[in-house]
Amino acid sequence: MKIEQFEDKHLSHYSYAVLSECENSIVLIDPSRDPAVYYSYAQKHDAKIVGVIETHPHADFVSSHLQIFEEKGAKIYCSKLTSPGYRFTPFDENDKIVLGKVTLRAINTPGHSPDSISIVLEHEGLDKALFSGDTLFIGDCGRPDLRESGGDINAERTFLAQQMYHSLREKLMPLADEVLLYPAHGAGTLCGKALSEANSSTIGAEKNANWSLQQMSEADFVKELTSNQPFIPAYFQFDVELNKKGAPGFEESVRSVEIANEEFLPADNAVIIDTRREDIFKAGHIDGAINIMDGNKFETWLGSIVYPQEPFFLVADDVPALQRLIARTASIGYEQQIVKAFTLSGGEKSDSKLDIEKFAQHPSAYTIVDVRNLAETTEHPIFENSLSIPLGELRTRLDEIPLDKPIAVHCAGGYRSAAASSMISGHVAGSQQVFDFGEAIKTFEK
């Protein structure tokens, strides 16, 4: 028996292959959008993928479960509470998948979502590992506010938080201390707020160190779990629905995106996502373009700024970069929204650089816009009287920014402020100067 962990660093996502060597069979757990790595793993071990388990319909990435079913004939297992739009095998409390000496047992663990399950791996009759999906993380547990359907939001998240309290204590904590813990996410995900950098743990270690497993009342747990959660990107609910339906095949969908053979100028008012480096973008870009740089969190910010179903154009330095970014766009299911992808070497619009010394002498002469998350601004304030608008909310709150002074935009290190300053600049359309602190903001940190 072998357990293989796969990591998508950009989305802080872990997926797994459980291999039964005596049967040469594999069951996958929470696979990412591109199934190629799982196919390669199966080929390497001369094994067949016979099953795919979805611990819940994921909000932060698109799964390849339907594609693997269609191409490999693998059964899809998930809770009947998911009510998916594809053929599936119900996998709920005490249901089992047997692979030789390996047994995978389902546990219903609602809390992150009503239909969340966790999977216990038994080997030769002993519990060896827990695949906890988004229920139990290393150092944290899953947030309860991603499935709110438009009713009483506080009631819905409170109800799921209460369910999480009982799922952790009644379903997972009774497992033996030596049981290995394999979650679906690590540090950097927006599905929790205090995750560890580690990629595995044990039930015993989490009982000792994880805040969510400590002794406390249900009311105290609910209060802590529902407070100070990260923002919810626009694409999350879209991905939940897409995963419940099943996404189209990865390679075919990516190949369908048109890449222009030469530099291309979109029509006015088009949404243009320019992924080039901030300094290259500021030297010359298309007026109104939004600078979401080709960085580690590209997918998260693309899915936070661009709305589901909203058409957009994608810009990069060269064709290989475009191809790579189209594939990353597909990991959140946005590839079919790309009208056209094209390269760009310049542009008619350029941005002025903020004179840091001049600003330092007269900061009150500027409207300072802080686009960090609220928890960051509360814990680490930088400027007095700055206007706090988190980047994930900025596009709907641009009109809140006054235009009586030049505008200086900052985040914590320059990535988010590049996107924000480009967005604000396009909105004000030359009626006021817009500056980006970039990395220089670090000189003002207290």
> Per-residue pLDDT for the chain (446 aa), expressed as one digit of tens each?
999 999 999 999 999 999 999 999 999 999 999 999 999 999 999 999 999 999 999 999 999 999 999 999 999 999 999 999 999 999 999 999 999 999 999 999 999 999 999 999 999 889 999 999 999 999 999 999 987 655 555 558 999 999 999 999 999 999 999 999 999 998 777 776 666 678 999 999 999 999 999 999 999 999 999 998 888 999 999 999 999 999 999 999 999 999 998 778 888 889 999 999 999 999 999 999 999 999 999 999 999 999 999 999 999 999 999 999 999 999 999 999 999 999 999 889 999 999 999 999 999 999 999 999 988 999 999 999 999 999 999 999 999 999 999 999 999 999 999 999 999 999 998 899 999 999 999 999 87
111, 188: one domain: yes
* Per-residue pLDDT at 344: 94
pLDDT of amino acid 149: 57
Q: Are residues 339 and 373 in the same domain?
A: no
CA atoms of 366 and 401, how far apart (whole Å)? 11
What was the pLDDT predicted at 246?
97
What is the total residue count of the chain?
A: 446
pLDDT of residue 147: 78
My answer on whether 253 and 360 are in the same domain is no
pLDDT at 370: 98
Same domain, 199 and 318: no
CA-based torsion, 440, 441, 443, 444: positive or negative? positive
Please report the pLDDT score of residue 138 as a whole number: 96
CATH of the domain at 335: 3.40.250.10
- The tokens describing 134, both together, are 């988004």
Run of H or E including 168: none
Task: Name residue, tokens 């005596």.
Answer: 22
Phi (first) and psi of residue 376, to 5 degrees: -65, -45
Within 10 Å of residue 219's Cβ, how many Cβ atoms?
11
CATH number for the domain that contains residue 191: 3.60.15.10
Any domain includes 305: yes
Looking at the fold, whether 43 and 85 belong to one and the same domain comes out as yes
Is residue 64 included in any domain, yes or no? yes
Q: What pLDDT is stored for residue 269 in this prediction? A: 87
pLDDT at 262: 79
- How many domains is the chain built from? 3
> Same domain, yes or no, for 89 and 187?
yes
Is the CA virtual torsion 377, 380, 381, 386 positive or negative? negative
CA quadruple 305, 309, 313, 316: dihedral positive or negative?
positive
Beta-ladder partners of 409 = 369, 436
Residue 379: domain span: 356-444
Does residue 413 belong to any structural domain of this protein? yes
348 within domain boundaries = no
Residue 362 and residue 314 in one domain? no
Write the Ramachandran bin of 389: left for phi over 0, alpha for psi from -120 to 50, otherwise beta.
beta
The pLDDT value recorded for residue 32 is 98
Q: Within a domain: residue 350?
A: no
DSSP letter assigned to residue 195: -
Q: Which amino acid is at 303?
A: G
For residues 214 and 263, membership in a common domain is answered with no
- Which amino acid, residue 76? I
Convert the pLDDT of each residue in 397-411 to its tens digit: 999 999 999 999 999
Residue where a domain stops, chosen among 236, 262, 293: 236
pTM: 0.94
H and E: helices and strands count for the chain: 14, 20
Is 373 among the domain residues? yes
* Residues 366 and 312 both lie in one domain: no
Residue 422's CB is within 10 A of a number of other CB atoms, namely 27
Q: Are residues 379 and 280 in the same domain?
A: no
Q: What is the pLDDT of residue 38?
A: 98
Residues 86 and 218 in one domain: yes
What integer pLDDT is reported at residue 194 of this predicted model? 63
CA distances from 95 to 76, 118, 168, 318 (A): 14, 11, 19, 50
Distance CA 193, CA 266 (A): 39
Whether the CB-CB separation of 118 and 169 falls below 8 Å is answered with: no
**Residue 28, phi then psi, degrees to nearest 5:** -100, 150
Tell me how many degrees the CA angle 123-78-301 measures, rounded to the nearest 5. Answer: 110
Instruction: Tell me what pLDDT residue 98 has.
Output: 97
